[in-house]
Structure 1
Amino acid sequence: MIESFIMTPLQYPFMQQAMLGAIIAGIVCAVLSCYLILKGWALMGDAISHAVLPGIVVAFIFGIPLVIGAFASGLFCAVATGYIKSHSRVKEDAVLGIIFSGLFALGLFLFSFVKTDQHLTHVLFGNILGILPHELWQIIIISGITLLIILIKRKDFMLYSFDPVQAQVIGLPVKFLHYTLLILLALSIVASLQAVGVILVIAMLVAPGIIGFLLTKRFPIMMIIAVTSSIFSSFMGVLVSFHIDAETGPCIVLSQASLFILAFIYNRIKGRLVINAKKEANEKASI
């Protein structure tokens, strides 16, 4: 039964490509999500993921690769947010709210004037089952570049995300790390668009890091847990979507949400056990 559940979908080449694309996109998002959670940038990921829509539409209109338009639009959102925050009294969350909602609305507005067979739901929620070989290679190349940069600068990113003041004190290029992290965020979003679309990509950028954060206090272990949970969610999401004939992106995100609920329950139970153990130890000590 289990063997049939797993092997039957993988007999089809399009399912093999979908599985590979989803897992690769999930890995790069999971690695980056650990830094986003540590930095407190969940809303930044949400903003950039929505802001790529007008870039996609404009790229389609001018006949250039959609990846270029999405990346340029996402990068514009990140830079504009930093500029407005630095030159006004408006807080970052308010700036992000107005920029990503404005750019997302602009994207929807432009899309209404474009005549194309591409359905809007494929842009918003992904279409991993319809992925083409060149699109799969785009995911592989973008994810590979992103992971390589993170691997090279992993310690600097970790210190900057955990304590930017300390990073500046010891002489790290804080502004460079800031914008490099934003560029990597934009790249990871572009890599994941085909898998889960504009709206749901934020879940892939947040859920794995949160799951790891709930289960451990050590960053390397947190990253391992995040990557493992993301791979499992991508794998199960693609399989389930095939068997129940549902959209793949939502299935992947629902799998991640289920893992988050389990991690949260485990965290609560573990916390209560620790509290009870301390109470018992104090009672014994008082006797």
Structure 2
Amino acid sequence: MVRALITAVVAAVVCAVLSCWLVLNGWSLMGDAVSHAVLPGVVLAYVVGAPFALGAVVFGFLAVALIGVVRDTSRVKEDAAIGIVFTSLFSLGLVLISVTPSQTDLNHIIFGNLLGVSGSDLVQVLVLAAVALGILLFKQRDFTLYAFDKVHAHAMGLNPRRIGALLLGLLALTAVVALQAVGVVLVVAMLIIPGATAYLLTDRFGRMLWIAPLLSAVCAVVGLYVSYYLDTASGGMIVLAQGCVFLLVYLFSPRQGIIGKRIAASRRRTAALAG
């Protein structure tokens, strides 16, 4: 349970920090594509005894390259290209799992196995998370400038294509970190929901980088404990907790919430009439 708690919190924090840039870039579909496309890479890495991260990064970049090729060489638009590539690669991963002899249940890659995290798995998660989080924080200004204004980033001497490629590489790396917690299917939720929730709570990106991981870590702890006492899927409960928080923020956020905005408008009208 201790290893599960550490893994869940670490994965939640790293995914939440990255999700801030994914939301600003409008890369929700790309996050979905990369997180699913890494599955065959992880399985092949297991087969040859290579690190999971290596296989995930290779297939993450392969997915991005294939999406670009389909989009640029045909009439198919980007959203359709993303759907075609990530479902095809994800299906390839499912096929590889079904034909790969293994002493462990590789289906845990798909659905997560948080309560089965071993000591070596925890070390791998901590190392990968430290690398991903370190690069995100070190290149924070470059990533932020890239998200807000690519033309200005280029004028400042930055290479937008290189920054985008680095961000996609970190996306693949972060997906591996979250695999242990929630599996491939739910990784995209951890990569999108925290950033989207923080985006509704503040207009300042610096605050997003604090709000998103804080909410995500709290949801990880709450979801894990609720799953323990209710005997439910831990990964699913963590994501469900994040979804519930997003719903509350969507409804009651003072500035962006549906109900919150109506309450604020009603108060303004009351104050104007009283004045």
TM over 0.5: yes
1:90-122 deviations in whole A, cap 9, x for unaligned?
322111100000001111122221222433541
1:69-108 deviations in whole A, cap 9, x for unaligned?
2232222112322344344443221111000000011111
Q: How far does residue 221 in structure 1 lie from its aligned partner after superposition?
A: 1.3
Q: How far does residue 181 in structure 1 lie from its aligned partner after superposition?
A: 0.6
Find out whether 1:127 has 2:110 as its counterpart. Answer: no
What is the alpha-carbon root mean square deviation over aligned residues?
Answer: 1.9
The residue type paired with residue 192 of structure 1 is: A
The residue type paired with residue 83 of structure 2 is: G
Find out whether 1:23 has 2:13 as its counterpart. Answer: no
Match of 2:231 in 1: 245
Matches within 5 A, 1:61-72: 61-72=47-58
Equivalent residue pairs, number: 271
Q: How far does residue 209 in structure 1 lie from its aligned partner after superposition?
A: 0.4
Match of 1:3 in 2: none
1:23-81 deviations in whole A, cap 9, x for unaligned?
01111100000000000001111111111111122223223333322232222112322
Equivalent residue for 1:93, pick from 79, 82, 94: 79
TM-score normalised according to structure 1 size: 0.88
Equivalent residue for 1:274, pick from 244, 264, 267: 264
Q: How far does residue 155 in structure 1 lie from its aligned partner after superposition?
A: 1.4
The residue type paired with residue 151 of structure 2 is: V
Distance 1:60 1:174, change over 3 A: same
Find out whether 1:49 has 2:35 as its counterpart. Answer: yes
Matches within 5 A, 1:127-276: 127-266=113-252, 267-276=257-266
Percent same amino acid at aligned positions?
A: 44
Q: How far does residue 283 in structure 1 lie from its aligned partner after superposition?
A: 6.5
Q: Is the 8 A contact 2:20 2:212 kept in 1?
A: yes
Bigger mean CA deviation after superposition, 49-58 or 247-256: 49-58
Q: How far does residue 243 in structure 1 lie from its aligned partner after superposition?
A: 1.5
1:176-202 deviations in whole A, cap 9, x for unaligned?
111011011111101110111000001
Q: What secondary structure, in the 3-state scheme, does the structure 1 residue paired with 2:50 have?
A: coil
Equivalent residue for 2:96, pick from 97, 110, 122: 110
The residue type paired with residue 104 of structure 1 is: F
**Structure 1: unaligned runs, 5 residues or longer:** 1-14
1:244-265 deviations in whole A, cap 9, x for unaligned?
2222110111110111111111
TM-score normalised according to structure 2 size: 0.91
In 1, Cα distance between equivalents of 2:243 and 2:103: 32
In 2, Cα distance between equivalents of 1:197 and 1:137: 17
In 1, Cα distance between equivalents of 2:159 and 2:44: 34
Q: How far does residue 151 in structure 1 lie from its aligned partner after superposition?
A: 1.1
**Structure 2: unaligned runs, 5 residues or longer:** none
In 1, Cα distance between equivalents of 2:261 and 2:194: 21
Distance 1:48 1:284, change over 3 A: same
